[in-house]
């Protein structure tokens, strides 16, 4: 699949504003700073479609993008230490509303390839199983590891998250590594609904 022109649609902060669309929805989730916005820019071939942040936890809204054949939804990052309990609670409610009311064709659940998955990452997977949301795992920032360490590390992550090795795609927004593989996963998820 080729992405021709991706454009920003809107940002929303509450369930009553969730996008109504006939297009398939691909969602992107993961903790703050994991590289969600960077991955979206990689898929879109655009440097600044989604704002990347040096300060983690900036994206507090669900950002929708039109990718032509599908809609991409960038979910707010979780697990940001400096966020108040109140905000964490709000985020949890918004996420559950999103997972339960927005028809999601595929959710890309991102983890940093270098780090052990957190309890939040595992909770995210539990939500996905609970709401029966189809998902694929993405191990980001693969360029931070020597090439020979990528596959063994993906195996470790798969064991830790209790998923199959083939369920995790390693990517790098810096080098474009894994981009084609991810696009074909998205393409298959879109076809399944038709």
Ligand X SMILES: Nc1nc2c(ncn2[C@@H]2O[C@H](COP(=O)(O)OP(=O)(O)OP(=O)(O)O)[C@@H](O)[C@H]2O)c(=O)[nH]1
Q: Residues interacting with ligand X, by CB under 6 A?
A: 30, 32-38, 52-54, 56-59, 77, 140-141, 143-144, 172-174
**Minimum Å distance from CB 35 to Mg ion?**
8
CA pair distance 39, 112, nearest whole angstrom: 12
Task: Pick one of Mg ion, ligand X, none as the site partner of residue 140 (Cβ within 5 to 8 A by kind).
Answer: ligand X
Contact segment (CB under 5 A) with Mg ion among 3-11, 55-63, 111-119, 160-168 equals: 55-63
Using alpha carbons only, give the angle 185, 189, 193 rounded to the nearest 5 degrees.
165
Residues 28-47 interacting with Mg ion (rule: CB under 5 A): 36-37
Residue 103 buriedness (CB in 10 A; 0-12 / 13-18 / 19+) = exposed
In this complex, which beta carbon is closest to Mg ion, that of residue 31 or of residue 36? 36
Using alpha carbons only, give the angle 105, 162, 133 rounded to the nearest 5 degrees.
15
The single residue among 33, 41, 59, 171 that binds Mg ion, judged by CB under 5 A, is 59
Residue 73: what are its φ and ψ, rounded to 5°?
Answer: -115, 120
Interaction site with Mg ion (CB under 5 A): 36-37, 59
């Amino acid at each position: 699949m080729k992405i021709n022109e991706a454009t920003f649609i809107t940002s929303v902060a509450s369930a009553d504003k969730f996008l109504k669309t006939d297009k398939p929805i691909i969602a992107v989730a993961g903790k703050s700073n994991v590289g969600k916005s960077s991955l979206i820019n990689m898929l879109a071939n655009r440097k600044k479609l989604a704002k990347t942040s040096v300060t983690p936890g900036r994206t507090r809204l669900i950002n929708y993008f039109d990718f032509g054949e599908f809609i991409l939804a960038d979910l707010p990052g979780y697990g940001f230490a400096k966020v108040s309990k109140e905000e964490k609670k709000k985020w949890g409610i918004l996420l559950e509303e999103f997972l339960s009311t927005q028809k999601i064709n595929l959710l890309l659940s991102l983890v940093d390839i270098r780090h052990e998955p957190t309890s939040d990452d595992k909770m995210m997977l539990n939500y996905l199983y609970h709401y029966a949301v189809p998902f694929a795992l993405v191990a980001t920032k693969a360029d931070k590891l020597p090439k020979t360490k990528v596959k063994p590390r993906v195996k470790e992550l798969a064991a830790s998250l209790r998923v199959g090795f083939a369920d995790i795609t390693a990517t790098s927004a810096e080098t474009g590594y894994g981009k084609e593989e991810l696009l074909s996963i998205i393409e298959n998820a879109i076809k399944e609904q038709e």
